Amino acid sequence: MMMMMMMMMMMIIIIIIIIIIIIIIIIIIIIIIIIIIIIIIIIIIIIIIIIIIIIIIIMLTTTMFLIKFMYISIDAEMTSPLSALSHFTPPIVKRLLSWKKGEHERDDKWAEKAVKSLVKKLKKTGGCDELVKALSTQDPCTKCITIPRVTLVVFFLRVLK
């Protein structure tokens, strides 16, 4: 009888040990699953951050491109020092003056006169469009523009520097 009791006790202990091992294995599996889920969440967050950075870079690049190649709008003309130009100033003159360097208001009238004179001379040879194209695109492959008088060249270069 004693022997039987001991065998029963041994069986119970073995069953308890097996149950404990199964519980430990289940806990380890749960921990591994939690770690995998955390890694997946971290990867998703990194992918989202990369996508956001790419979108920001695309937006900045597009904005810089638009700013570089966009013409001055009517609103910009109204807020710039060029808004002091007379209403009789031709649009081509306003456009050329939009590339004016320096913000000296006292030179605005002088610059307007110089550019008007230049436009008048270039209209005869058809160089106005080429000048606007050269200034707006900053392309070194545009056609050469001949300005008839040397003094006018000096004045115009002073405006655009």
- Kindly give, in sequence order, each residue whose CB lies less than 8 Å from that of residue 94, ignoring residues fewer than 6 positions away: 77, 82, 85
Using pLDDT thresholds of 50, 70 and 90, give the confidence band for residue 13: very high
| Lowest mean pLDDT segment, chosen from 37-51, 82-96, 109-123 | 82-96
What are the tens digits of pLDDT across the range 43-53? 999 999 999 99
Q: What is the DSSP string of 53-121?
A: HHHHHHHHHHHHHHHHHPPPPHHHHHHSGGGGS-TTS-HHHHHHHTT--S--GGGHHHHHHHHHHHHHH
For residue 94, which of 106, 108, 102 has the smallest C-alpha distance?
108
Q: Tell me the pLDDT band of 74, cut-offs 50, 70 and 90.
A: very low
Residue type, 130: E
- Tell me the C-alpha distance between 92 and 39, whole Å: 61
Burial class (CB in 10 A: 0-12, 13-18, 19+), 95: buried
**pLDDT over 60 (residue 77):** no
Mean pLDDT calculated for residue range 10-19:
95
Distance between alpha carbon 141 and the CA centroid of its chain, in Å? 26
Average pLDDT over residues 79-104: 64
Give the range with max mean pLDDT: 41-50, 59-68, 133-142: 41-50
Residue 101 CA, distance from chain mean position: 25
Using the Cα atoms of residue 62, residue 68, residue 69 and residue 71 in order, give the sign of their dihedral.
Answer: positive
pLDDT higher at 40 or 87: 40
